């Protein structure tokens, strides 16, 4: 993307004897000890587009996007093309609309894992994955309605469940969602609002979801029996920050044939040990 800028010229008093009577505004401000403004219109417009797309849940066309952001339609379209090329924005062929892209997640990975170096707990995650033949994931809450996988460990079983670091999930989806619902302090109205936006692998009512949340709160860990993907089961434990809000969740995902109540309890204990190690690093 090529950017063009222009400098305004301001008139300043020259020294006696004929110094320059006109200097660029930025140079004048520097002489006076001021910091010059440095807004680049195309960059500012691109940021407006990214912030707006990250705040909405459905694709939006270029014309309504330009209108809501007060941008020239042609300029908006050209910026979107550049952002699509760099994977920061995605274009939906069916709706002819734009959504935030996974490239933004790649940019954010370092930020969302910088509370601790999550690689330090990877050996523990790998031990649990191998011991139980499961996929272990560490998720970080990134917004009021989203979480992101920031670390993974998989078993060496010939058939295993595959997830991806950087994958963004709705906050309340799956076992980690029950953990977040149980301990995040969200009221029932907000839980219901987010629940109604979820797509499940098999049906679940809000009353059943809330009963599972209450059981998670009582037990300290959660179970999701195929509500994300049929034939799978996931367990999750909360990982708390200094004010006892869940900032991470550590989850184990397996095939339903691997699951039984006794085994679940043992897996949950091992996940809790990972959570305790992270909390010690987080909270000193």
Q: Shortest CA distance to 222 belongs to which of 230, 232, 231, 233?
A: 233
In whole angstroms, give the CA distance from residue 177 to residue 206: 13
Q: Is the pLDDT assigned to residue 27 strictly greater than 50?
A: no
pLDDT for the residue 268: 96
Higher-confidence residue of 142 and 133: namely 133
pLDDT for the residue 163: 86
Strands (DSSP E) along 131-177, which ranges?
135-143, 146-153, 168-170
pLDDT for the residue 23: 37
pLDDT tens digit sequence for 237-249: 999 998 999 999 9
In whole angstroms, give the CA distance from residue 38 to residue 174: 45
Q: Is the pLDDT assigned to residue 33 strictly greater than 50?
A: no
pLDDT tens digit sequence for 203-225: 999 999 999 999 999 999 999 99
In whole angstroms, give the CA distance from residue 130 to residue 240: 25
Domain with CATH 3.30.450.40 in the chain: 112-283
Homologous superfamily, domain 112-283: GAF domain (3.30.450.40)
Mean residue pLDDT across the chain = 83
* 275 — pLDDT class (breaks 50, 70, 90): very high
Q: Is the pLDDT assigned to residue 113 strictly greater than 90?
A: no
pLDDT tens digit sequence for 44-98: 999 999 989 877 778 899 999 999 999 999 999 999 999 999 889 999 888 899 9
Domain with CATH 1.10.10.10 in the chain: 14-100
pTM of the model: 0.64
* 193 — pLDDT class (breaks 50, 70, 90): very high
* 109 — pLDDT class (breaks 50, 70, 90): low
Higher-confidence residue of 28 and 151: namely 151
pLDDT for the residue 201: 86
Q: Shortest CA distance to 36 belongs to which of 44, 49, 27, 48?
A: 27
In whole angstroms, give the CA distance from residue 33 to residue 264: 65
The topology under which CATH files domain 14-100 is: Arc Repressor Mutant, subunit A (1.10.10)
Name the DSSP letter for residue 20.
Answer: -
pLDDT for the residue 95: 87
């Amino acid at each position: 993307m090529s950017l063009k800028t222009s400098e305004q010229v301001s008139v300043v008093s020259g020294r006696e004897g004929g110094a320059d009577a006109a200097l660029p505004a930025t140079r004048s401000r520097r002489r006076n000890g001021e910091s010059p403004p440095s807004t680049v219109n195309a960059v500012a417009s691109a940021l407006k587009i990214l912030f707006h797309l990250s705040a909405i849940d459905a694709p939006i066309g270029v014309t309504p996007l330009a209108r809501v952001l007060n941008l020239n339609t042609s300029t908006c379209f050209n910026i979107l093309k550049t952002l699509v090329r760099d994977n920061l924005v995605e274009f939906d062929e069916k709706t002819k609309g734009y959504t935030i892209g996974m490239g933004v997640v790649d940019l954010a990975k370092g930020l969302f894992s910088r509370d601790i170096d999550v690689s330090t707990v990877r050996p523990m995650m790998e031990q649990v994955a191998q011991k139980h033949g499961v996929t272990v994931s560490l998720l970080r809450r990134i917004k009021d309605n989203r979480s992101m996988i920031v670390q993974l460990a998989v078993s060496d079983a010939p058939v295993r469940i595959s997830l991806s670091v950087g994958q963004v999930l709705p906050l309340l989806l799956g076992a980690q969602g029950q953990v977040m619902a149980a301990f995040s302090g969200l009221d029932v109205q907000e839980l219901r609002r987010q629940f109604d936006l979820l797509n499940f692998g098999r049906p679940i009512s809000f009353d059943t979801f809330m009963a599972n949340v209450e059981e998670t709160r009582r037990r300290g860990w959660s179970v999701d029996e195929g509500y994300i993907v049929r034939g799978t089961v996931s367990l999750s434990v909360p990982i708390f920050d200094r004010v006892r809000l869940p900032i991470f969740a550590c989850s184990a995902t397996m095939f339903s044939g691997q699951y039984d109540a006794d085994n679940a309890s043992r897996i949950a204990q091992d996940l809790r040990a990972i959570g305790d190690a992270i909390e010690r690093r987080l909270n000193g």
